[in-house]
Amino acid sequence: MTASADEKWTGAVADVLDPRPVRASRTSVDGYVWSVVTETMDFDGMLAERDILVHPGAVAVIALDEQERVLLIRQYRHPVGHQLFEPPAGLMDKPGEPPWQTAARELAEEAGYRADQWDVLVDVYLTPGGSSEAIRIYLARGLTPLEAGRVLTGEAEEQHLPRVFVSLDDARDLVLSGAIGGGSSVAGILAAHASRAQGWTSLRPYDTAWAARDALESLGRVRHLHRP
């Protein structure tokens, strides 16, 4: 078998919604946070089964203080068995809550801060080969610590979240050296470092439409948790 002659792309370089027809679908796992759906897709006449982890979606916050240090929290992540340094983040688990409000809530709950200025930094599909998880990463500035400290929520690994401020340059170096490897950390820190180099001109308004999530909603690939 040889490659087809049209494998040299000459069009626009931009992600585009282009779903293949689904001929059959079954739920293999119906979990607490996400589900796994096995779909039979029709790829130009070739039928193929694909497992899809259907995710609620998430947000993360690259929070910078007045010295342009980034706020990271240390949290245990059981699937990888590691204590990871990550930005405050959380699931889109409240019906009707705008993403930036979810981000503000997570900043309070996981770090004990509020921010006066919010912008969209970068949008990411974390593992598009197997999961529908889309994450929007915000840049938060004008930080003020909450008088009562962080809002304690969650259980187990969410009960103790040590935090640290790291200069944006040092955070970039930690990512590039492999010392920090969480997806939201890598994408958020590198995006913030690149945006700062451009005078923050790449930032988008906090309420910019989230095209990736809208597309996933249209495909039925957002898990709605219906939490209070």
Looking at this protein, which amino acid is placed at residue 127?
Answer: T
User: What distances in angstroms separate CA 158 from CA 61, 81, 213, 216, one per listed residue?
Assistant: 16, 15, 26, 28
Separation of alpha carbons 40 and 205, rounded Å: 39
Annotation marks residue 158 as catalytic: yes
70 and 88 in contact (C-beta within 8 Å)? Answer: no
153 and 109 in contact (C-beta within 8 Å)? Answer: yes
- Of these residues, 39, 68, 97, 158, which one is catalytic? 158
Q: Where are the beta strands (DSSP E) in the chain?
A: 22-30, 35-43, 46-54, 58-63, 69-77, 82-86, 89-91, 113-125, 134-145, 163-167, 204-205
Write the CB contacts of 88 (distance below 8 Å, at least 6 apart in sequence). 60, 61, 63, 71, 73, 103, 106, 107, 109, 110, 111
Separation of alpha carbons 184 and 19, rounded Å: 26
Q: Which residues are catalytic?
A: 158
